Amino acid sequence: MDYTKQIQDIAGRLFSENKIDVFIGYRNTGFDENQVPVLINQYKDVDQLLFTDKSVFNLANYLKYEHTRNKRVGLVVKGCDSRALNLMLTEKQVKRENLYVVGIACKGVVDETGEMAQNCIECVMPDAVIFDEMLGTPSGRREYQENADVRELDGKTLTERQEYFEEVFESCIRCNACRHSCPLCYCAKCCIDQETATLFQGANTTSSAFHALMTWSLHLAGRCVDCRNCEKACPSHLPLHLLHKQNEKVIYGNFQEHLAGMIEEDRGAFYKYSLSDPDDFIM
């Protein structure tokens, strides 16, 4: 999977036709094989751009920062990234007319060991669901499969699960890299950071990490697209996907097999009411 040439051509064309102000893509780190996101503002820099199976980061994340606000943006999206973009559009965070979306028919990206990443193996939609131009041959939607780690966790007793997560939250340093790397955590002021109303404890204790991360994962329930930006960003390497995949599983099972951002203008599991929604948990 190498679309370097095509992406450079597209970005070059968009700049020379004056259709965009910023192009968001990937470039080499300069010191190893890995790639980092890059925001390009002018035609002469387009030869930095590349796209291979190491283009991991979800670029929709950059649509929430001041560098792209109210600008015409071109960006590259894989399947999962495009689902996040879809949700940002639905939730009125970006304007479609300001975007030029280069969709990728993704064949999966690699993790740090060089193997295909776990979320790509389980991916339900590798092709971009929203695009102005598509690169590669789409392979179509795949069957939803339950995450193996979540299944294993479900097999444990409540006490065992509690012990496991206590260890996880104890290792959290509350740097908020997970939140800042998530395209769907776009709130101008996160509830976790409120200092006037003390909703959340300011201290970096285990209990505050528990509180913050659980709230965060619930705010993303039915919205998480499993791009794993959060998990890759975590300096403590915490298994954050367990929280999101568990939510995804519950929502998939209970709300008409809902998966976030698959179709345009999809309102999401928690935003719409349906008569067939389960109510057996209500006393």
Partner 1 sequence: MNLTTYSTDPAGLQSFYEAIISAHDTYAPVEKFGKYDFIKVDALSSCNPDSPIPKTMSVKPLFFPKSARVMKYKATSEGTELSDTEGDPLAGKRVVLGVKHCDARGLQVLDAVYKWDYVDTDYEKRRENTILISTRCNEASTHCFCTSLDYDVEKLDAFDVAVINGLDGKIYLQARTEKGEFFLKENANGLTVANGSAQEEMKQQFEKFAGSFRLKMDYSEINEKMKGRFDSAVFEDIPANCVSCNTCAFVCPTCHCFKISDEKLKDEGVRYKSYDSCNNVYFTLMAGGHNPRPVKYRRWRQRAMHKFVYYKERFDMNLCVGCGKCTISCPVNISIFEVVNRVASSMQE
Q: State in angstroms the smallest separation of the CB of 207 from partner 1.
A: 9
Q: State in angstroms the smallest separation of the CB of 107 from partner 1.
A: 23
Give φ, ψ of 101 to 5 degrees.
Answer: -100, 120
Cβ contacts of residue 191 below 8 Å, gap of 6+?
A: 199, 200, 215
Amino acid at 148: A
Radius of gyration of the chain (CA): 19
Q: State in angstroms the smallest separation of the CB of 205 from partner 1.
A: 5
Query: What is the enclosing helix (H) or strand (E) of 166?
Result: helix 158-171
Report residue 9 as tokens: 């051509």
Q: State in angstroms the smallest separation of the CB of 174 from partner 1.
A: 7
Nearer to partner 1, 32 or 97 (CB): 32
Query: Pairing between strand 99-104 and 22-28?
Result: unpaired
Judged by the rule CB under 8 A, the positions of this chain that interact with partner 1 are 29-32, 34, 36-39, 57, 61-62, 65-67, 167-168, 171, 173-177, 179-181, 193, 195, 198, 201-205, 208, 229, 232-233, 235-239
